[in-house]
Amino acid sequence: MHIHRRWRLILSLLIAAAFAAPVFAQQAGESSTPAAPATGAPPAAPAKKLPRQKPPAAPAATAPAATAPATPPAAVTGGVKPTLLGQYGDWGAYAASPGGKKVCFAIAKPASSETNPPNRPRNPSYLFISSRPADKVSNEVSIIIGYPFKANAEATVEVGSTSFALYTQQDGAWIKNAAEETRLVDAMRAGQNAVVKGVSAKGTKSADTFSLRGLSQALDRVDQDCR
């Protein structure tokens, strides 16, 4: 059973905030600029030019270290810090207890992103699948797109040749027809990529491609921890 859309958005933003840097540039034309210096303040003294240093000798070659999974910072609400259950391919499995209610989720960033017009600045986007035993919710697909969606606009997620409609609210998106959610998750478990397409409030079109490598294992780990 799905819970109220407003709470779904709050939960989505909470989880995404645990992985996002504190400050991001907004959609083009909305990014903040540094504040001008106070009137009458003296200009900063130019930095001293340091003498040219001889570059240090290159260190001896060593074997490359294994890539460690990113550790998410504390969530913005209640100091909740998600616990990494395991990193599986391009997907991380996490658990947290915001407000004392356990939530587990598999989450990934896009392998590639495109915008039209090209190179429009935006916040990072995330695709995650969450389970909340206390609310009797499992395998709920959510997207944080990284910009405010165009009002009343739908988005889509494509897995292979199948496209699923998403409803949007602010910068979040969820499956429009809840009856199709299980079919979407099954398709993602068996697929190679998921492509999320949407349109921003400023008319910028985006296409984010998420690798599905490791998703099935990450979801199995989430199911094991959030029964």
- What does the mean pLDDT of the chain come to? 76
**Strand ordering across the sheet containing 137-144:** 83-88, 91-96, 103-108, 126-132, 137-144, 172-175, 162-169, 155-159, 193-199, 205-211, 112-116
Q: Which amino acid is at 101?
A: K
Could you read off the pLDDT of 124-143 as tens digits, one per residue?
A: 899 999 998 988 989 999 99
Share of the chain above pLDDT 90, in %: 52
Residue 183's pLDDT is: 96
Residue 53's pLDDT is: 44
Distance of alpha carbon 157 from alpha carbon 58, whole angstroms: 47
Average of per-residue pLDDT across 37-59: 42
Residue 110's pLDDT is: 96
Residue 82's pLDDT is: 84
Residue 72's pLDDT is: 42
Residue 60's pLDDT is: 38
Residue 179's pLDDT is: 94
Model confidence band, residue 13 (pLDDT cutoffs 50, 70, 90):
low
Residue 135's pLDDT is: 87
Residue 86's pLDDT is: 95
Distance of alpha carbon 164 from alpha carbon 154, whole angstroms: 10
Choices 3.40.50.80, 2.60.40.1880, 3.20.20.60, 3.40.50.300: CATH for 5-20+72-225: 2.60.40.1880
Higher pLDDT, 190 or 71: 190
Give the CA angle between residues 58, 69, 212 to the nearest 5°. Answer: 120
